[in-house]
Amino acid sequence: MLAVLAPGQGSQKPGFLAPWLDLPGAEARLRWWSALAGLDLVHLGTDADADEIKDTARTQPLLVAAALLAAEHLPMYDVGVVAGHSIGEVGAAALAAVLTPEAAITFAAVRGREMAAACALEPTGMSAVLGGDADEVIAAIEAAGLYPANRNGAGQIVAAGALSSLEKLAAEPPARVRVIPLSVAGAFHTPYMAPAEQALAAMSGGITTGTPGRLLLSNRDGSAVDHGPTMLQRLVRQVTAPVRWDLCMRTLAEIGVTAIIELPPAGTLAGLAKRELKGIEIVTVNTPDDLAAARDAIARHGTAPSFEPTPQFRVVVATAAGTFTPAEQLVEGIEVRTGQVIGHVVTRQGPVEVAAHAGILAEWLVHPDDPVAPGHPVARIERLL
Predicted local confidence at residue 320, as pLDDT: 80
Give the largest CA-CA distance in the chain: 73
Whether 148 and 10 map to the same domain: the answer is: no
Residue 24 inside a domain? The answer is yes
Tell me the pLDDT tens digit for each residue of 110-144.
999 999 999 999 999 999 999 989 999 999 999 99
Last residue of a domain, one of 255, 275, 301: 301
Is 189 an annotated catalytic residue? yes
Residue 306 inside a domain? The answer is no
Whether 163 and 194 map to the same domain: the answer is: no
Residue 45 inside a domain? The answer is yes
Residue 361 inside a domain? The answer is yes
Low-confidence ranges of the chain (pLDDT < 50): 304-311
Predicted local confidence at residue 308, as pLDDT: 42
Contact 330, 361 (CB under 8 A): yes
Residue 307 inside a domain? The answer is no
Whether 100 and 64 map to the same domain: the answer is: yes
Contact 232, 209 (CB under 8 A): yes
* pTM: predicted TM-score of the whole model, two decimal places: 0.78
Conformational region of residue 335, where left means phi above 0, alpha means psi within -120 to 50, and beta covers everything else: beta
Predicted local confidence at residue 226, as pLDDT: 86
Tell me the pLDDT tens digit for each residue of 68-107.
999 999 999 899 999 999 999 999 999 999 999 999 999 9
Predicted local confidence at residue 384, as pLDDT: 63
Whether 75 and 222 map to the same domain: the answer is: yes
- What is the CATH classification number for the domain harbouring 267? 3.40.366.10
Q: By residue range, what is the domain housing residue 151?
A: 124-181
- What is the CATH classification number for the domain harbouring 353? 2.40.50.100
Residue 42 inside a domain? The answer is yes
Sheet strands (E) in the chain: 2-6, 81-84, 124-131, 147-153, 156-162, 177-181, 215-216, 259-262, 281-284, 313-317, 322-326, 335-336, 341-347, 350-355, 359-364, 371-372, 377-382
Contact 349, 334 (CB under 8 A): no
Catalytic residue among 73, 189, 301, 344: 189
Number of domains in the chain: 3
Whether 81 and 229 map to the same domain: the answer is: yes
Whether 98 and 133 map to the same domain: the answer is: no
Whether 149 and 108 map to the same domain: the answer is: no
Radius of gyration of the chain (CA): 22
Last residue of a domain, one of 252, 272, 301: 301
Euclidean distance between CA atoms 295 and 359, whole angstroms: 17
Whether 215 and 354 map to the same domain: the answer is: no
Whether 206 and 270 map to the same domain: the answer is: yes
Catalytic residue among 11, 34, 86, 218: 86
Predicted local confidence at residue 385, as pLDDT: 52
Residue 279 inside a domain? The answer is yes
Predicted local confidence at residue 307, as pLDDT: 34
Whether 195 and 323 map to the same domain: the answer is: no
Whether 135 and 270 map to the same domain: the answer is: no
Whether the upstream peptide bond of residue 265 has omega within 30° of 0, thus cis, is yes
- What is the CATH classification number for the domain harbouring 142? 3.30.70.250
Whether 283 and 319 map to the same domain: the answer is: no
